[in-house]
Amino acid sequence: MRKLKNNELGRISVDEFKAIDKTPIIVVLDNIRSLNNIGSVFRTSDAFLIEKIYLCGITATPPNKDIHKTALGATESVAWEYTEDTLSVVNKLKALKINVLAVEQAENSTKLDTFSPKKDEKYAIVLGNEVKGVQQEVVNAADVCLEIPQLGTKHSLNISVTTGVVLWDLFVKMRK
């Protein structure tokens, strides 16, 4: 078995990315403080053809060298928009009939492995601050709270890991 070189991977260009049909998922970042986490979310969103990222509150925006360090150019391919207030973004998305999924540990949450996205519907996933999580008012406005089942001693996963797990799971389920 031989590792493939980058030029053998058959990746699309930024222009091709912008023109291709996207996975009907929007990512909403609710007050993310780490620039490396933001960059990682961009890179993961690029990998799964995510439609758009909303950067909200204290979440930094490109161009930024620390975001670029982990995004590796994905800030050029994935559409993004900054909005100060996360709740206003959530309400706007809901008005557009987009299902809003807050990724949070909450009463009556739905475990990610049991969640089945509906065909021909669009989803927005809201990921929260590294310490405080998704704001309670945003959790209240969400259609569903998704929770990644965890069995170890720690209470949560890093937001970049959480993004990868959730986007991969939804990507696979929506592409079936």
* Between 155 and 167, the higher pLDDT residue: 167
d(CA 166, CA 114): 12
Q: CA 114, 22, 176: angle at the middle one, nearest 5?
A: 40
Q: Thinking of the domain 19-148+155-175, which architecture would CATH place it in? A: 3-Layer(aba) Sandwich (3.40)
Q: Is 128 exposed, middle or buried (0-12, 13-18, 19+ CB in 10 A)?
A: buried
Residue 103's pLDDT band, with cuts at 50, 70 and 90, is very high
Task: Please check the confidence at residue 176 and state whether its pLDDT lies above 90.
Answer: no
Closest CA to 117 of 99, 129, 103: 99
Query: pLDDT at residue 149 above 90?
Result: yes
Whether 67 and 40 have beta carbons less than 8 Å apart is answered as no
Separation of alpha carbons 160 and 164, rounded Å? 6
CA distance 89 to 49: 21
Kindly report, residue by residue over 38-84, the tens digit of the pLDDT: 999 999 999 999 999 999 999 999 999 999 999 999 999 999 999 99
Residue 23: pLDDT band (50, 70, 90) is: very high
- Percentage, residues of the chain above pLDDT 90: 98
CA 73, 79, 80, 86 torsion: positive or negative? negative
- The rounded percent of the chain whose pLDDT value lies above 70 is 100
Q: pLDDT of 107-119, one tens digit each?
A: 999 999 999 999 8
What are 82's strand-pairing partners? 55
The predicted model gives 80-103 an average pLDDT of 98
Beta-bridge partners for 102: 126, 145
| Interior angle at CA 100, CA 32 and CA 127, nearest 5 | 15
